[in-house]
Amino acid sequence: MGKDKTNVESFDLDHTKVVAPYVRLADIKRGANGDEVYKYDVRFKQPNQAHMEMPALHSLEHLTADRIRNHSSQVIDLSPMGCQTGFYLSFINHTDYEDVLRILASTFEEVLQATAVPACNEVQCGWAASHSLEGALALAEEFLAKRDEWHIVFAK
């Protein structure tokens, strides 16, 4: 089956060839003034075979977005994928892949200590009723357990 190239890097990724979980450098954007934005595909679940349930994903997003900034001042954003299989993580001027893995590991270790989801209320969240701390902790634990595999993106 052929496919046309798109304007979206992740749409051009062959999702049948990747092996989750992994952390993949998906894109680098260079600004006119020399800054570089590095976007990582932080994949938790195998595409088209599994996904994160929305309340757990939502809570993990809140926990990770809050905690990751304790480990790097270069984080721009953490965004969930619409397919519910992972997140996009963006850094500015941060080129060290191994350090990104360390930052993620440290962040998820900190997430596992959480006793509540930050900003889980109607004032700070657009869908405060859709959260699961237990689900988020289970996802973080599952992802951390495969830490040694994060650098493997494609099946051999």
Q: At what angle do helices 97-111 and 133-145 cross, to 10 degrees?
A: 140
Mean pLDDT of 19-43: 97
- Per-residue pLDDT at 106 exceeds 70: yes
- What is the pLDDT confidence band of residue 2, given thresholds at 50, 70 and 90? low
Is the pLDDT at 60 greater than 70? The verdict is yes
Rounded Cα–Cα distance for residues 88 and 24 (Å): 10
Residue 14 has pLDDT above 90, yes or no: no
Task: Tell the CATH superfamily of the 16-147 domain.
Answer: S-ribosylhomocysteinase (LuxS) (3.30.1360.80)
pLDDT at 41: 98
CB atoms within 10 A of CB 111: 23
Residue 61's pLDDT band (boundaries 50, 70, 90)? very high
Q: Is the pLDDT of residue 1 over 60?
A: no
Entry pTM: 0.94
- Sketch the domain layout of the chain as residue ranges: 16-147
